[in-house]
Amino acid sequence: MEVWLVRHGVTAHNQEGLWQGQRDVPLASEGRSQAQRLAVRLARLGLTWTALHSSDLSRARETAEIVGERLGLTVRSDRRLREVCVGELAGLTRPEVRARFGDYVARSQEDPWNARFPGGETLAELYDRVWAFLNELGDGRHLVVSHGGAIRAAVLGVLEAKNAVPWRIRLENTSITRLHFPEGVRGGGFVHTVGDAAHLEAGWDLDG
């Protein structure tokens, strides 16, 4: 089984440096352009896809729909693919978070997986629901459009590094992260590619 994880296109919150979490922020025009470039790249590969899955948040769903239209795939939504719920941090900048929620920031630095976002989830809870989704996938090649936190949780699970600091994994919007499970998810897997966003680079040929 292969799982190709794609981070959604960019949103206004991304551009402004605001925490999003599960706030339902749509794609910015740049995000739709990124999704189009991703769709072209995936179409050129000529691969057969078992299914196209997406978080039900609009920024991921719209990214998936743009890709699905190009590939002839119907989007299957799943709430478990949502970003971690950051609760009261949604809509704030990082300096605002440090100023208002210093206690949380300190806890998150000591134990990032179990420190609960104020009014939200823990990263451990995010990990559990992402892996519940992955464990239900059957054989084949699955395309999954999700969020940075969810994708990092998937990667660290494969690496058996659940306690590592997830934010050290850089994921551009619409980047591709590939996981390979030769004997299914329960048989263990391999990380093939992380954060591949070559289709966004200057000089990449969109029309050729």
Identify the CA nearest to 28 among candidates 18, 41, 15: 15
Helix (H, G, I), strand (E, B) or coil at 18: strand
Whether 8 is a known active-site residue: answer yes
- 171 and 152 Cβ atoms separated by less than 8 Å: yes
| Annotated catalytic residue within 2, 65, 83, 121 | 83
63 CB contacts (<8 Å, ≥6 apart)?
6, 8, 9, 27, 31, 34, 35, 38, 54, 145, 174
Q: Kindly state the tokens that stand for 5.
A: 């994880």
Q: Kindly state the tokens that stand for 81.
A: 């693919």
Whether 13 is a known active-site residue: answer no
Cα→Cα distances 4→56, 71, 181, Å:
17, 14, 11
2 CB contacts (<8 Å, ≥6 apart)?
140, 141, 142, 178, 179, 180, 181, 192
| Annotated catalytic residue within 8, 142, 147, 199 | 8
Write out the catalytic residue numbers.
8, 83
